[in-house]
């Protein structure tokens, strides 16, 4: 597992799984760092599938959602997929209210479901 400032990354063949740190503790600068770190990571690694583990995330701001949207767009030209999983009810509701849960992101309850949904 490789650790970054805002997430940990683990590669399993052509799948990379990242586990986000809890952005509830972030200040404005930290959101910008997360976005930059995530986009740089995606552009360098170019995973076929990127699984994003939200199990440590208690609160998800629109800045985090925006960073994920940008990273996902960087994956798409090469056929890459992004799957999100492990969200608590309040984080999942935030994605629902912004209509991101079925239109922009594929969100699964658990890691196994995200892996199976490739």
pLDDT above 90 (res 51): yes
pLDDT at 53: 95
Give residue-wise pLDDT tens across range 81-101. Answer: 999 999 999 999 999 999 998
Handedness of CA 92, 48, 22, 67 (dihedral sign): negative
Q: What is the mean pLDDT of residues 5-19?
A: 90
pLDDT above 90 (res 114): no
The domains found in the chain, sorted by start residue, are 2-116 (3.30.750.24)
Q: What tokens appear for 98 in the block? A: 């912004």
pLDDT above 90 (res 9): yes
pLDDT at 91: 93
CA dist., res. 82 & res. 84, Å (int): 7
Instruction: Output the pTM of the full model.
Output: 0.89
* Residue in the structure block whose two tokens are 């400032």: 5
pLDDT at 8: 92
């Amino acid at each position: 597992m490789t650790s970054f400032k805002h997430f940990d990354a683990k590669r399993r063949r052509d799948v990379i799984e990242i586990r986000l740190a809890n952005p509830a503790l972030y200040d404005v600068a930290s959101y910008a760092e997360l976005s930059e770190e995530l986009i740089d990571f995606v552009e360098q690694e170019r995973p076929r599938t990127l699984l994003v583990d939200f199990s440590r995330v208690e609160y998800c701001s629109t800045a985090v959602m925006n960073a994920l949207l940008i990273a996902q767009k960087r994956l798409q030209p090469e056929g890459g997929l992004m799957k999100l999983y492990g969200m608590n009810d309040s984080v999942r509701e935030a994605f629902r209210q912004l209509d991101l849960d079925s239109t922009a992101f594929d969100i699964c309850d658990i890691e196994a479901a995200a892996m199976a949904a490739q």
